Amino acid sequence: MDLFITCKEGFEKILASETALSRGVVQTKGRGWIISRWQETPALDLCFAYHILENPLTVSAASLNSFTDKLADLFLTHIKDMRIDGPWGFEFSSSGNEQLIHRAKTVEKGWLEKISKKVSRVAKLSKKGVPHSPQLSEGFFVHFTDFDQAFVSFKALSLGQQRMQMDPQAPSRSYLKLEEAFRIFGHEPKENETVVDLGAAPGGWSFSALKRGALVTAVDNGPLKGVVKSHPNMTHLQEDALTYRTHQPQPVDWLICDILEQPDIVLELIHKWVSQKWCRYFIVNFKIGRTDPIVILKKLKHPQKGLPPHCKSLSIRQLYHNREEITVLGETKE
């Protein structure tokens, strides 16, 4: 099986190395994408992947009209003998500059108009977007890699990354990372749940939890800013986040951490919290700028020494709002 996989631009080699961990072999790659081949069941829960398209077809055309016609014909041929009664997803995306993005949108518009004339009932059931799901979903998915080339698939999935909207009251843009992580995780703090934010200053992640009505303990020697520092649900402990220990008899509901430290130090810290069952859920950011991220992934996923033995669920993602970072999301075992 071949998979067309998109990623953040500049991380193609790292994504290729990640697929190699599960015996994927890269066939070719370009700006913000790779094609990897698996002889066995492929890995879909990839950290550095954004979208995954199964067994992509290459479509080439010189003009917008030619692209529109070819893609419409391809879709209509595919569904000719199918009965479609429920929603189905579609997406026209691209790698590269604004001109290519515009081309993809223009072809998408023409394609949708064309299929609406041919199969109006089916077209009305369409839903824009790649489904965020652990399994590949059927639909029609197109990714432009150049003005005259696109890859097309009838099955795809999204790992959930998405651009989030900034709140003007948030003390820092790191707020966007936690908002995105909550969306991917499918869980978020509820009113009156307890949250410990390690390395909290200036308070972007704490702000995200406070917005949801959580009771937040921010641990950082540095100062908090804005509405966070005077919020009635906020307790600020000016002490070292690396040595802080919760004294509550029950686990805190959430541990969140976006501390500026070496990955090995953060892993040791989080491993202690998770293995000792000091928290129920956790979202932790790892800075990977000066470290081989594949080494970090191996340590995080190690079946004995890593986090899996202590977790009900564990996901690792490079978020849209991450830079040289990855984010770990999980639920601990009871």
Q: Which domains does the chain carry?
A: 2-158 (3.30.2130.30), 175-332 (3.40.50.150)
What kind and span of H or E run contains 201? none
From first to last of its 334 residues, the chain has per-residue pLDDT tens of 999 999 999 999 999 999 999 999 999 999 999 999 999 889 899 999 999 999 999 999 999 999 999 999 999 999 999 999 999 999 999 987 899 999 999 999 999 999 999 999 999 999 999 999 999 999 999 999 999 999 999 999 999 999 999 999 999 999 999 999 999 999 999 999 999 999 999 999 999 999 999 999 999 999 999 999 999 999 999 999 999 998 888 999 999 999 999 999 999 999 999 999 999 999 999 999 989 999 999 999 999 999 999 999 999 999 999 999 999 999 999 8
Residue 306's pLDDT is what? 97
Give CA–CA dist 171/180, Å, rounded. 16
Task: Give the residue numbers marked as catalytic.
Answer: 287
Give CA–CA dist 326/316, Å, rounded. 7
Alpha-carbon distance values, 87 to 115, 170, 295 (Å): 15, 37, 41
CB-based contact 269:198 (threshold 8 Å)? yes
- Written as one string, the DSSP assignment of 203-227 is -HHHHHHHHTT-EEEEE-SSPP-GG
Selection from 289, 291, 286 nearest residue 329 by Cα = 286
CB-based contact 47:285 (threshold 8 Å)? no
Q: Whose structure tokens read 């491993």?
A: 271
pTM for the full predicted model: 0.94
Give CA–CA dist 97/68, Å, rounded. 20
